[in-house]
Structure 1
């Protein structure tokens, strides 16, 4: 079947077409129509008046066109280079914490700004390249369209798709190899960079060290049988103040951190421990005659009226830094979870579903409190392979 005469769908400047007067082709006729025919038909159906439509460069291959292509490709190349730099920095740059003044602290400080700058410049390059392409290479046209309500018909959808195809053909993108390749490189590398940011943390195996894996071990674990004492932190990481059993008044709470004598002459490690996310512990001395309910398997974790719980909330990992001595409740200020301190810190309110991890404590011959062992369960919120409920 031959297509309807081209003149039937030609633009008529200055007049508004009437859909009732248009011949709406059948599906078979639509399949036989060329892209230009479909575009003209779509213009009539959508009440689009093409005021002007001329290519940006009427003569292909001119020096001006090549210069515009290089400018556009430059943005895409920049996006590709920055995206590649982001991936390399994200994976290979030193990211572990280094104390100020220590060797490597500058590299640590630069890590976050560098990954932010490279990813941002990569996204900027793609965006600027698209804008530059539309301004410098796409055809210059001016159209006026009337608005219509309702769902688009099959004809409308076909003609709209044809209009997009025609725009792509007029843009000359297939023959602009430099832009086409640079855009592909920028888009591919940027996509890879986003994937690295989203899934990069899953590349390393957190369980490669078995029972010594970081999620299962804290600084409260004894090394070579050395005792780990409870230490106060007064703001100076090099000052070591150990905690005695009688230092706390009934109904009071103290935040304590682990300390080994072997680390006394290591200021870097002393500072690192007080900044470690799983080190802080709430040492609480309950008031006299407060009944204590103990968790199965943890009956001897307390020392008299002294109990020690991880400060890391079992809901989302916030610091449970509030203690109300009249009700013996530990409160997490982030999402209002509450734990009963005299009942193995079981959750009694809020979204937390598990008790806080309890640290087993004892007293040495000089009255100093120490940890009898590390926590027997992972501290903080849950994760997929958590072994305890």
Structure 2
């Protein structure tokens, strides 16, 4: 095959016998190209690009029953895609609007079971309807052309004529006169756009709004209760014993971050006790309460050796001394277990005086309160 110079400004081989290549900028000025109609530019670009049309199959006649039926089919599919996409948005972000008291729960038999499958099903249906509609639109409504084209570098001529070809493709698509498809495309595009953007809401929203990682359900006057919901009063425990307690709120024993160890110190431990600065009055008598969540990696700490006054974390062997304000004395933990300030109410049951004054859990969540 003979090759030709196709750099911008070259003749592209137009000055040699045979098919033309490249679209010479020297043959047509930008003004002349701008004056040519789109159809002529399309044909001219094909000629200079060495395009050989092998077969042309026109689309359906405008207004024919065949076209109307295809338009209805494609419009229906695009509309269904849009409906599924908007339904995805409603399920994903609108559950709180229609079910204000609903919260996702692991293992629940309520709406939580259907939440994730519904999201997957609706997204899959939206893209399926869109894909099938696009295939039908291409096969039933667009003209089909089979052509062979030699590949070469571009020039200004190529860019202008290629633009005309693209505009011609839009014109041949019939979108301007097929209002049903245009409307369904706009509806579907809005739905798909919202569906794809909706999950980003979790990135835009501040996850620390309201300080959820620095607060628990403990508050002033909230009783300390056992796992079965019974309240605790002084004298219920033997000296040197530990009991896990929770806030007396709905689902209190399922709030992992609120789990607290209520420890009754032995007289010898009480004599050795050195509270942390500013927390001298957090205990009540010979009782102290510390978070059950290890400050290293968040494991539950509950192995208590009263002889050594140590609380042991079974995950990485961090040890905390309850007579030193639950200060870490061994292992990877670097921060003391947060202490819950406690007292008793008018009925003689233990209650919290406030929430923890510092964030519970791993050290990297430790932030000062504002």
TM-score, normalised by the number of residues in structure 1: 0.61
Match of 1:183 in 2: 185
Determine whether 1:279 maps to 2:258.
yes
CA contact (8 A) 1:221 1:374 kept: yes
1:301-316 alignment runs, 5 A limit? 308-309=290-291, 311=293
* In 1, Cα distance between equivalents of 2:162 and 2:274: 72
Superposed, which structure 2 residues align to 1:160-309 within 5 Å?
Answer: 160-199=162-201, 202=205, 217-222=215-220, 225-229=221-225, 231=226, 238=228, 246-247=240-241, 256=244, 258-260=246-248, 269=250, 272-276=251-255, 278-280=257-259, 297-298=278-279, 308-309=290-291
Q: Distance in 2 between matches of 1:146 and 1:331?
A: 72
Given candidates 92, 96, 105, the residue that maps to 2:103 is 96
Write the deviation string for residues 12-65 of structure 1: whole angstroms up to 9, x where unpaired. Answer: xxx7644487855332233223222332343355554332233222x2111111
Residue correspondences, number:
325
Residue number among 321, 338, 345 corresponding to 1:358 in the alignment: 338
Of 129, 134, 153, the match for 1:130: 134
Q: Which residue of 2 aligns with 1:145?
A: 149
Cα 1:379/1:292, change in 2 over 3 Å: same
Query: Gaps (5+ residues) in structure 1?
Result: 1-7, 10-14, 208-212, 249-253, 264-268
Partner of 1:25: 28
Shift of 1:173: 0.9
- C-alpha RMSD of matched pairs (Å): 5.3
Contact 2:261 2:302 in 1 (8 A): no
Q: Give the deviation of 1:136 after TM superposition.
A: 1.9
Shift of 1:75: 0.8
For the 8 Å contact 1:357–1:375, the answer to whether it is kept is no
Question: 2:4 — aligned with what?
Answer: none
TM-score by length of 2: 0.63
The one of 35, 40, 45 equivalent to 2:43 is 40
Change beyond 3 A, Cα 1:358–1:27 = farther
The 3 A distance-change label for structure 1 pair 305 and 172 is: same
Q: What is the CA-CA distance between 1:246 and the residue it aligns to?
A: 2.8
The corresponding residue for 2:79 is: 77
- 1:315-330 alignment runs, 5 A limit: 319-320=298-299
SS of the aligned residue for 1:175 comes to coil
Distance of 1:130 and 1:96 partners within structure 2: 38
Q: Check if 1:388 corresponds to 2:342.
A: no
SS state of the match for residue 162, structure 2?
helix
Q: 1:24 and 1:301 mapped to 2: Cα distance? A: 92
Which structure has the larger Rg? 2
Displacement, 1:186? 1.3
Q: Return the alpha-carbon distance in structure 1 between the equivalents of residues 319 and 156 of structure 2.
A: 65
Shift of 1:388: 2.8
Shift in Å, 1:203: 11
Residues of 1 paired with 2:281 and 2:27: CA distance? 86
Pair 1:52 & 2:52 matched: no
Gaps of at least 5 residues in structure 2 are 1-10, 13-17, 305-310
Distance 1:273 1:158, change over 3 A: farther
